[in-house]
Structure 1
Amino acid sequence: MTKKDIHVVPHADGWAVQREGGERASSLHSTKEAAMHEARDMGRRDKVEVVEHGKNGKIQGSNSYGNDPNPPKDTKP
């Protein structure tokens, strides 16, 4: 089974935590902070990326909790 990234997206009742490609939310939260907390826990457990969206639905950031295929390069010598 392929692990799906987790998205925190705006929802009519606040914020939703939803797996990529899923039709329904995994959980609903009244605040974005609570949704991000749940998403980070899921991301760490499943070793996948967590993608944060803004109220307009656009991606604001992401964090990888698994094997990142493109890890950041350290600029220090």
Structure 2
Amino acid sequence: MTKKSHHVVPSENGWCVKESGNSNPLFCSKTKVEATNVGRTISQSQHTELYLHNADGKIARKDSHGHDPYPPKDKK
């Protein structure tokens, strides 16, 4: 099962926040900053990963708002 995530992606008129598996945007804005702020709020409230994309569509950064263990478990 794939985990739900949110993405801030470029669009024709600016930037949009989309949910994984859904082609319709949840929110669109002319600025990346505003779309990122809304995307972060949505991601935090739903405990999902937030992916921030560059203007070319490639993932630039990822923020985790899930239930990550702290401190992280050692990988062996």
TM-score in terms of structure 1 length = 0.83
Tell me which stretches of 4 or more aligned residues in structure 1 moved more than 4 Å: none
Partner amino acid for 2:7?
H
TM norm structure 2: 0.84
The aligned length equals 71
Residues in 2 aligned to 1:29 and 1:63: alpha-carbon distance in whole angstroms: 20
Q: Secondary structure at the match of 2:61?
A: strand
Alignment partner, residue 57 of structure 1? 57
The whole-number CA distance in structure 2 between the counterparts of 1:52 and 1:14 is: 14
The two structures, once aligned, show a CA RMSD in angstroms of: 2.0
Gaps of at least 5 residues in structure 1 are none
- Identify the residue that residue 28 of structure 2 maps to in structure 1: 28
Alignment deviations for residues 31-76 of structure 1 (CA, whole Å, 9 cap, x no partner): 000000000000110000100000000000000011237x767xxx
What is the distance in 1 between the residues matched to 2:9 and 2:72? 25
Q: Provide closer, same or farther for how the CA distance between residues 9 and 37 of structure 1 changes in structure 2, counting only shifts above 3 A.
A: same
| C-alpha separation in 1, matches of 2:72 and 2:12 | 35
Q: In the alignment, residue 48 of structure 2 is paired with which amino acid?
A: V
The share of aligned pairs that are identical, in percent, is 38
Is the 1:3–1:46 Cα contact (8 Å) retained in structure 2? no
Inter-partner Cα distance in structure 1 for 2:12 and 2:55? 11
